[in-house]
Amino acid sequence: MDMDPIFVRNGLITFILLIASLSLHEWGHAIVADLLGDDTPRMDGRVTLNPLVHLDLLGTVILPLFNIFALGSSFPFIAWAKPVRVNLSNFRHRARDDVLVTFAGPATNLAIALVAIVVGSFLVAAYPRLGELVHRIVMMNVGLAVFNLVPIPPLDGGVLLRHAVGMSEETFISVSRYSGLAMLIAINISVVQQAIGALVAVASIPYLLLCGWISPSALSLIFP
């Protein structure tokens, strides 16, 4: 991989955006759990936007840097931050509140993409060079939301699946030990990458339509 200055600059921008997006994802889990009565995230110092407390060495640093600078990936969706611990016994409605906390992470990423597309649609008219940055923020956060909602333990989608099918917590933990490794292997298979890419493309359609509705002239700048 040619490590020219532009490639390094773009890679670092992607890495910074990824850290911010992952940190906000975990903050979303933490703040909703806190609001629903579980003080575990607050005791762990996770109800904060400080990215340092959310970082996972492998999932937030090593793997993304490898994907960006060794593989040249523009949108390294396969990344994760340190999971937020919750105590289900602190919730008034155990199953419902666990679902809300679980969905809060992907929902935060979708909200970030929404804010980016709304604000960006107005900004790129005056500053066209911001179009690429807005595009990255939108696609990265939509991609993270889609990836995390895949119904495979230990992803957020796997937690939602556990509640949907009535899977016990013990079974979920047991499956997670192997499914996480299998997922890391599968993601390197081209057909799996294409499937995730297709899901991200479909999920980004509402943002593309919104951008065109707010500012048609911004559409070609954000989604060339």
Is 26 catalytic? The answer is yes
Q: Specify the long-range contacts of residues 193-197, CB closer than 8 Å, at least 24 apart.
A: 196/77, 196/143, 196/146, 196/147, 196/150
* Catalytic member of 26, 132, 169, 170: 26
Which DSSP symbol is given to 151? S
Other beta carbons within 10 Å of 165: 9
Q: Which ranges of the chain would DSSP assign to H, the alpha helix?
A: 5-35, 40-43, 63-69, 94-126, 130-148, 156-165, 169-186, 190-203, 205-214, 216-222
Rounded Cα distance, 135 and 137, in Å: 6
> What amino acid is encoded at 196 in this protein?
I
Q: Are 106 and 156 in contact (CB under 8 A)?
A: yes
CB proximity list for 20: less than 8 A, separation 6 or greater: 51
Q: Are 91 and 183 in contact (CB under 8 A)?
A: no
> What amino acid is encoded at 52 in this protein?
L
Which residues belong to the active site?
Answer: 26
